[in-house]
Structure 1
Amino acid sequence: MAAVVVNAAILQAPVSAADPLGALECLASPQIFMTKPDKVMDLDLHHEPESGGASWAGRQAIGSGWDGTVKVGPDGWVYLFMPTGDVRRYHWLGNSWADAGEVIQTGWTYWGTVASRNKMTVDKRGDFYGIAADNALHLYRYDAVAKTWSDRVLANDWGGRFDFVVAAGPGVVYAREVNGDLYRAQYDTVSQRLSTLVKVGVGWQSATDITSPGGDVLYMVEGGNQALRWYRYLGDQKWTPDSGHNVGGGIPADWQLEFQPDGCKLTPDGTPTRPTVTKVPKAAASLTYTAAKRLYYSYVDNDGNMVNAQAEDVSGTKPIGFSGVPGFTGLTGVPSAVDLADGRVRLVGLGQDAETRSSTQIGSPAGNWAAPVSVGGFTTGPVAVGRAGGVVYGYGVDAKGCLWRAYQRTATAELGPWELDGCDGYAQVAPTVMTSGSQITVTLLKTTGTYSRFAHSHPLQAAVTVSLGGSGFTGPASTIINGAGKVQTFARDTDGQVYTQIGSPRPGQQPTPWTAIPGLTVAGPPSAVLSPTGTIEIVARGTDNRIYNTGQQASGSPAYRPWREITDGNEVSSTDPTAVALPDKGMWVIAFRNEADVPKLRRTDPSTPTRQANGENAPIFVDVPVQAAR
């Protein structure tokens, strides 16, 4: 019985409807390698891969001694995974072998077993996708020049669910569930995006082997009757009407079939197009205070370089020195930082090429920065990161207003891959990420001028997105946990005032009203903190480019002090300010940059925390000396 393709209407739809696939183009006669139980390898050519016509060149033996699992890559490269754990690489020239091959890996006994034979595949780029012994889907890549392998976990918990994977295009992986349901996903190695798994068929449990020349064309061996069946997937959970017809026979269940994976291609091939990123000059800084009691001050300078300073002592007894992070260039927007479980910090910044780059401290919280690496994304707004349950998460918005999420698959891994979280007209500004224990809360501006919010825990759980109501808001929100333990949000409206809202509505509930904090027309988004004295404090840049502060008249009070300039008339800011609390030091600090792009840092004075003037209970600020990067 042929595998059954189920009508898409009764299958679960993906998060975002898939586009139809591109136009199919194939080589005249793609090669198929057949390895038999007697360890003899045969070669055949299929003359009609586009339509599945039963036209073949005829099998011919091309070698013997093929003991193990055979996988075929592009450009004639053939790989033998041996029971001994050796991996050998051979080059087929079309009519002969180039040489006797070479050993390119040892100790991979798992991949040489019959049980794992159907759990690895090679795509047209030469990348290996495999469900390893840890049940995770891995991407392995062999560097023939350096003669090294790289290994990256793309998804966890595949081993208990899928028993077969086959590549059918660049990063295109079909995976069969143990019950015979067939799913499709695509991973792009540049953007590092992994598409949503989409169920595309049922009844594939009768397949003893599945292979593909690319272009989403599949050949299924139905070992029970030795039939070879042809399928072509069209996208949108649809197959060609003649999919499943017989194109050959005489293929026993214990044969290994491997088409060359570069025999067919689609145009377009489903990989995302690199978007254009608008450079944002004079973006605000990122302030992070870690569990190791170190302050990290990071920003992107006028030339697109990541600049960072870090200090345990912010008393002002010695200057805090800034320096560029080597190699961290070509950036734009607000960077983001997160402290890892071991106390080190990871910095991320949006590249002007739409790839987010990441650098992590080496060795210790005081260590130097590692060479930045691309973690992809293809977002047009900056990525924001946070850590929940010991795992780092990142969120960013693309040019279509869709939110993408990435998280660490292992404790020391970089972010990724990126997965679609949803498309709801999100604005291309950095999401606001707030973490508490194992929970992470994300607040997003929409192009309609409203905010949406969701919260989830780690391990990742489904989250319901709620609207915060209101309208006319601009820029990213600032969120804190207030003294009553509730989420409180601060944002700038188009009337130039700062507004606040307390709480997050439950699904189906109306959000609480937004309340203005009048007295100042602001030029950009505010930044709020819960100060060590228990009051909520807010800073913002006025239209005169000076920094102003207001705060609760007392902890828990709904009344706020009048806005007061805290740059003392001596400094003009070219950026919006950023604030963060240092609770153990009894202070909070503010970061901004002057007109010459020189970083500034001001702190409250714990020895004289407030001053009484005109009925105010306002904090006193002092400058922290800094040494700008050279």
Structure 2
Amino acid sequence: MSRQNVAYRTVLRGTMRKLGAAGSALAVISLSASLAVVTSSPAAADQEVRCESKARIFTVQPNGNLWLYEHANPAAGGYAWAGARHIGTDWAGGRTLAGQFGYVYSITASGDVRRFRWNGDGWDRGGAYDVIGRGWGRFATAEHRNKITVDSLGDFYSIDDQGRLSRSFVVGNELRSEVIAQGWGGYNLIAASGPGTIYARANSYLDRFRYHRDSNRLYEAVQSDTPGWPSYSKLAGAGGGIFFGVNWVHDDLNWQRDTSGNDDTHTYPPGNVAGSGWAKDIDTVVAPDTCTRVPERGPSTPSNGITSNAPSAIVESGGKLRIAHRQDNGTIRFLTEDAEGSWSSRAVGEGQYVMDISALPVNGGVQITAEHLDGARAFTVGDNGVVSPATELGGRANELPVVTQVGYSYFSAEGDLWYRYGEGPWRRKDTNIGNWGLTAITRADGVVVLVVNDRTTTEPVMFTDDHGRLSDAQPLNGPAGLDPALSLDADGTVRVTYTDVVEKTLVTRRIGGSGSQEWTTVAGPDPSYGNAAAAAAGPDGRVDIVRRASGGQVVVSTQLEPNGTAFGPWVPVGGGYSSAPAIVRSVATGQLVITFRDSANASHVYKRTASGYVGGKVG
């Protein structure tokens, strides 16, 4: 019996009358079909899966015919068919994919990506198509055709010849791509079932990954403990963790569902057989927006409130000192020292900035990173005065991400460390440690050192990122504390300084290098307990630590010897100030420069001289 007749027999078993001539009209899909609701398993009792009443399943048969099958119970599977229809010819030789809103894609052997749309009754524009991409022929080959999928949002995910996972999205009539992960060369099949929810097969197991495109976060899930997936020659997601897969061993179409619904596990209870005689088809794909979880998982939108007295940021760019700080009206004030002691000021950036701010010298200007009402944004103020448009950093962090000179960024959330390399996605380092006070510094060898307070003990822990190799958490065995600050000693060794919340003193130690690794107290009782510290090394190699005292007085303590453990007494710099201080070493002059603001939000600048810090209000 021909494959076409097998298909008819399977679809109609026990549900419809026997067909007459091939191609007789059957019921067709309505794109506005009603929703069937299936409640999630107890493991995910706060979620349910909702499906359209029929799933659109497109198959390409060996003779090149394209058929549309309608499964009448996508929420539960089984032999539940509503009809089938021959809707195209000459579809062999490429790779067929289904997208949202009735879109069907054909990747030709020559590498074109053709986009069609099935409207429920026929093809839009009589079957005309748009070419939205070129150079995709890799995925029309037998070896790589299972390394591409489309999710319920219409985004393409694919594994390239370098083992990189890319997300591609349609803008107008053009596919645009971005790499979101590396190290995927060991996966031989991927299938999306939900927005950004990617299942990837290696050996006999499926791993699950979740990419949240609005926040640019990539979640990694644990490996499934259910083997047996190698027998699937094709796997297509209907959304909501539901799949239809072709088992080539038994020549069956199987229905399967991931019932876990959370970020840490995925579970596949026994599925069921939905049809037989499907193994010879070239492609079997399902409309990926058939089902959805309610609610879908993802990080919540930040609810950042406006804070007063956010610290200033100071850097040097183009041979000039630059200061940035958030004003009370939510705009950002940018100051430049045009000549010694002469400062100009302007407002930069648009929008409602609410919290902390950081500045980083980049080629030809200063990159400003600031917390907005809905998350972090970054823009550049050029040395020529040109301000770039702000871009969202994603992540949905409730704190300002730490951005480093080597292009790595980090933030702490939900007890984990999140990291991002360049323009890639935010990825999670499972630590259950990081909570607040994250800070970072880049050593001369390009290694990034991060310190954050443990959310349970509030003791500091350290991570190192050696050119993209992020370490596990390393305890520093210090007292419970707050607000770590990092600096480099004269020999390039990282120094961490923070407040001991029990003794109310400032403690410091070197991390690595030669000499003592013990924690020592800085200058006796800390008069500025409760306020963040800043530290930097001067031209003589000695580190200055600056704090704001509880009465608004700014004080500084200087290392007695380069690379040493002892620091001098706290020396007042000024009084009556409201913001935490910041410190930087000027490359042009070699001086250490401290900045902070008074109660009227005016900036003050003090520079270290042989006789101490000298300066005052600059605007």
* AA of the residue aligned to 2:590: G
* AA of the residue aligned to 2:489: N
Contact 2:606 2:613 survives alignment (8 Å): no
* AA of the residue aligned to 1:97: W
Which SS does the other structure have where 2:230 is aligned?
helix
Matched, 1:215 2:240: yes
Alignment of 1:413-492 (within 5 A): 414=423, 416-447=424-455, 448-471=457-480, 473-474=481-482, 476-492=483-499
1:599, distance to aligned residue in structure 2 (A): 2.6
Residues 498, 314 of structure 1: alpha-carbon distance in 2 compared, 3 angstrom cutoff: farther
Contact 2:257 2:269 survives alignment (8 Å): no
Query: Which one is further off, 165-174 or 40-49?
Result: 40-49
Alignment of 1:486-501 (within 5 A): 486-494=493-501, 497-501=504-508
1:41, distance to aligned residue in structure 2 (A): 0.9
Distance (whole Å) between structure 2 residues aligned to residue 81 and residue 367 of structure 1: 47
Alignment of 1:527-566 (within 5 A): 527-566=534-573
* AA of the residue aligned to 1:157: G
Residues 423, 554 of structure 1: alpha-carbon distance in 2 compared, 3 angstrom cutoff: closer
Contact 1:467 1:511 survives alignment (8 Å): no
Residues 202, 344 of structure 1: alpha-carbon distance in 2 compared, 3 angstrom cutoff: farther
Which SS does the other structure have where 2:220 is aligned?
coil
1:396, distance to aligned residue in structure 2 (A): 1.2
Q: How many residues align?
A: 566
Unaligned runs of 5+ in 1: 1-17, 409-413, 612-618
Which SS does the other structure have where 1:198 is aligned?
coil
Which residue, out of 344, 355, 361, partners 1:333? 355
Distance (whole Å) between structure 2 residues aligned to residue 237 and residue 620 of structure 1: 57
1:155, distance to aligned residue in structure 2 (A): 0.4
Residues 113, 323 of structure 1: alpha-carbon distance in 2 compared, 3 angstrom cutoff: farther
1:172, distance to aligned residue in structure 2 (A): 0.3
* AA of the residue aligned to 1:84: S
Distance (whole Å) between structure 2 residues aligned to residue 175 and residue 343 of structure 1: 43
Alignment of 1:364-443 (within 5 A): 366=384, 368-388=386-406, 392-398=407-413, 400-408=414-422, 414=423, 416-443=424-451
Matched, 1:351 2:376: no
Which residue, out of 510, 517, 536, partners 2:523? 517
- For the pair shown, the structure with the greater C-alpha radius of gyration is 2
Q: How big is each residue's C-alpha offset from its partner over 1:533-583, in whole Å with a ceiling of 9 and x where there is no partner?
A: 12111211122213222212343454433322223x6xx322000001124
Alignment of 1:189-200 (within 5 A): 189-200=213-224
1:252, distance to aligned residue in structure 2 (A): 2.8
- Quote the sequence identity (%): 24
Residues 213, 451 of structure 1: alpha-carbon distance in 2 compared, 3 angstrom cutoff: same
Higher RCO structure (Cα 8 Å, ≥6 apart): 1
Q: TM-score w.r.t. structure 1 length?
A: 0.82
Which residue, out of 153, 156, 159, partners 1:128? 156
1:223, distance to aligned residue in structure 2 (A): 2.5
Contact 1:213 1:263 survives alignment (8 Å): yes
Unaligned runs of 5+ in 2: 1-42
Distance (whole Å) between structure 2 residues aligned to residue 345 and residue 156 of structure 1: 30
Which SS does the other structure have where 1:205 is aligned?
helix
Which residue, out of 345, 349, 355, partners 1:322? 345
* AA of the residue aligned to 1:166: A
Partner residue of 1:92? Answer: 118
Contact 2:360 2:368 survives alignment (8 Å): yes
Distance (whole Å) between structure 1 residues aligned to residue 336 and residue 249 of structure 2: 66
Which residue, out of 301, 309, 313, partners 1:286? 313
Contact 1:385 1:433 survives alignment (8 Å): no
Distance (whole Å) between structure 2 residues aligned to residue 205 and residue 367 of structure 1: 59
Residues 444, 168 of structure 1: alpha-carbon distance in 2 compared, 3 angstrom cutoff: same
Distance (whole Å) between structure 1 residues aligned to residue 388 and residue 228 of structure 2: 49
Contact 1:537 1:551 survives alignment (8 Å): yes
Contact 2:522 2:567 survives alignment (8 Å): no
Partner residue of 2:579? Answer: 575
Distance (whole Å) between structure 1 residues aligned to residue 316 and residue 176 of structure 2: 34
Contact 1:337 1:347 survives alignment (8 Å): yes
